[in-house]
Each structure stands twice: as structure tokens, then as C-alpha cells.
Amino acid sequence: MPRPRHASPAAAGFLILCPRLFDGEAMREDACVWVRDGRIAAVMPRSSAQDGLPHVRLPDGALLAPGFIDTQVNGGGGVMFNDAPTPEGAAAIVAAHRRHGTTGLLPTLITDAPEAMDRALDAGPAILAQPGVLGLHLEGPFINPARKGVHRADYIVPLDAATIARLRRAAALGRSFVTLAPELAPPGVVAALTGAGLRVSAGHTEATGADMERAAGEGLTGVTHLFNAMSQLQGRAPGVVGAAMADERLFVGIIADGLHVDPLSLRAAFRAIGAERLMLVTDAMSSVGAATDRFMLMGREVRLAGGRLTTADGTLAGAHLTMAEAVRNAVAMMGASLPEALRMASRTPAEFLGLGGERGRVAPGMRADLVALGPDLDVLDSWVDGEGTGALG
């Protein structure tokens, strides 16, 4: 293995010795990953590792993979982003999910008063300075009341000039995106938003197949939590679900907890869409990483029972799910292979966000955002820009 001359071991980085490596494309056995200056310097057989550099040796049966990227995280660690759209709030959410292998996420602001969005946008630069925050996800308030789910109807607003101007501010914040109802977006609005640099996803929507075709033609590239809060697939009315399955321009998020989507539907979606476009998301709430079975969501109590989060009337209110669990469920429920499940948790969301050139693979020049998994896919450690938690030394 090459090593810079006259460099101290600290300056030269460190090695991760792994019995198995998923590099974003394929599985490799007995690999060595050289991390230096927050990036991958080289990937080689473990037998080529040079003595003298600090190293982390993964235990037998362990696997190193690209760190998970979650594009839909409402909360964690007892914090809801709507309640704390601040650097401190984002840091608490990131810490809760990092323990479960997520090295990059988008704090998600669900439909709220305009002032709440302004607070998040005002704090946006400081929020993005937190390691592991890749952008903001604005899920609403430009959604269809008929598909509002747990979102408050009194905060839903039209896409007028003022709200479009507010969204343009989000375009400057990392790899942010907005979830909206395409059928309620006047012609040209999606094109204006994507032209400003904001990604647009369809969700909480009654869009027809024609609506989706028009929006995708203007630059819409995402579908938010497939099957949930959207028009379904019918023979003569393909809806959002049909468009998600048929249109290769679209990346598709899905909540793989077996509660939001039946396992049979998970398998159908995986077979139709594939790991190149299907993304695992958690839609996680503040209960993840917190010792509580209830919390308040905009004046309504949400309770956790049997892994399900619901309001008093039985409406699903986000998910009590981690990315590590979603990966396990993708294998057990979707019928995905382990490499396919890992891709849906890392490389595919990276490509949706336009970050495929620096995240989602373990290859020279890529950011050293990594996760070490045990034989049961339990998280042993993770690294963000080459900084580990110290769990493995």
C-alpha cells in the first residue's frame, strides 16, 4: 500500500481492516480501507495493509459499508425538528440516528405555520454546519388536504409568490428538497424551483399519472413515502404509485417497517422499481433514541404501541424506525439481497441528492462516511468524514 514519505502516522490517516466490505457496488472479502483527511485514500486487499498506521480491526463476520443516508427524519433523541429547528435540535437528531448507522440525513419540517419554516430557513446555514446534516426536507405545507395524513389542515397553503420565494431560500441550503402536491402546483412552478437548485418530490397528493408526467417534465425527481398519502395504482388511473413504478426519472422513498406498507406491497415495489431508484427512509419521529412511548405533535398526543405511532384517532404519525432496521426489513420483507438493501440505504439516496460523486460508495476520493455492521446487521461503529464514535477503538 502506498504511504506518503515523511508523514506521521496521524497525518497519514488510519486503516479499517474488514472481513467483508460492501463498496456500494459489490461485496468484497478481506479488505482494507485507508482513510485520510476525511476521505477514502485507497481500498485494497487486507494482505496489502502496511504496518505502522493506526488501524481499526473489525471483528469476524463484520461488514463495512457506506454510511446510511436518510432523506426523511422528523426527529430523534426526544426532539422534533418542528419544535427545535435549530443547530442544537439538529445535532440531537443526528446523534440519535448516528447510533443506528445514519451518517447523513435531512432534518424534515412537516406542514407548519409560515413562521416555523422561516425559523428553519434562518437557522439553515448553522444547521448545515452540523456534521451529518446534508440539507433540509420541507414536507409541505404545499400539499393536498385530501391526503394530509397527520399534517394539520389549517397550515396547508397554496404555492403563491410569497411561498415560492420562501422555498427559493431553501435552494441555497445544501441538498434540500420540498415535498408538494404536483396537481396543485401551477404550470412552471416545479421548473422554477428545480431551476433554482431545489429538488422537488411528490407527496401527500392526489396527482394523476398525467400530473406526474407534467411535473417530471419540469424537473420533479422524487416520490415521498410510496403508497402513503397518495393516489394509488389502478388499471385506468395509474396515480402517483403507478408513475413511481413506471417513470425511470423518479427516485422513490419507502418506509420499510411493515406497518406503513404491507410486506407484499414492499416486495411488489422492489420488483417494479429496483434498488437503483428505491430509497429506504425512516420518517422517524422524536421517539427514536428516546425512552418514551408518547410525545406531542402540534398539540396532539402521539403514542407508541407495537412499534406503531398513532394519534388518538388512529392516524399514523411518522414511524418509530431506524435505518439499520429498515435495511434488515428490506432483506426480510422485500426480498432484497444484502447488497441491494445497503444500496437503497446509501448510494441511491446519495444519487437522488446529487451526491453520488462523494457519498454512497467506498472508493478512492469518496468521503469517509462509513458504517460497521455485525453479522445480524447491528451497528458496531460509524464514521463521518473519517471521524468515528470510538466504539471500536
Per the DSSP assignment, residues forming a β-bridge with 279 are 253
Considering only residues 85 and 9, tell me which one the structure prediction assigns the higher pLDDT: 85
Give the model's pLDDT for residue 164: 87
Residue 162, number of CB atoms within 10 A of its CB: 11
Compute the average pLDDT of residues 10-32: 92
| 276 phi and psi angles, rounded to 5 deg | -75, -20
**pLDDT tens profile 109-151:** 999 999 999 999 999 999 999 999 999 999 999 999 999 989 9
Per the DSSP assignment, residues forming a β-bridge with 358 are none
Name the class of domain 68-352.
alpha beta
Select from 149, 345, 155 the least CA-distant residue to 254: 345
Compute the average pLDDT of residues 65-94: 97
Give the model's pLDDT for residue 11: 65
Task: Write down the pTM of the prediction.
Answer: 0.95
Give the model's pLDDT for residue 393: 66
* H or E stretch at 166: helix 161-170
Whether 207 and 165 have beta carbons less than 8 Å apart is answered as no
Whether 170 and 136 have beta carbons less than 8 Å apart is answered as yes
Cβ contacts of residue 255 below 8 Å, gap of 6+? Answer: 225, 228, 261, 281, 282, 283, 319, 321, 326
Give the model's pLDDT for residue 192: 94
* Mean of per-residue pLDDT scores for the chain: 94
Cis amide prior to 141 (ω within 30 degrees): yes
What is the three-class DSSP state of 240? Answer: helix
What is the three-class DSSP state of 237? Answer: strand
- Min mean pLDDT across 49-58, 227-236, 293-302 is at 49-58
C-alpha cell at 342: 445497503
- Which residues carry out catalysis? 283
4: pLDDT strictly greater than 70: no
Cα 89 from Cα 93, distance rounded (Å): 6
Per the DSSP assignment, residues forming a β-bridge with 63 are 20, 373
Task: CATH number for 9-66+361-388: choose from 3.30.200.20, 3.75.10.10, 2.30.40.10, 3.20.20.150.
Answer: 2.30.40.10
Give the model's pLDDT for residue 5: 36
**pLDDT tens profile 309-352:** 999 999 999 999 999 999 999 999 999 999 999 999 999 999 99
**pLDDT tens profile 247-304:** 999 999 999 999 999 999 999 999 999 999 999 999 999 999 999 899 999 889 999 9
Can you give the C-alpha Rg of the chain in angstroms?
A: 21
Cβ contacts of residue 38 below 8 Å, gap of 6+? Answer: 367, 368, 385, 386, 387
> Where are the domains positioned within the chain?
9-66+361-388, 68-352
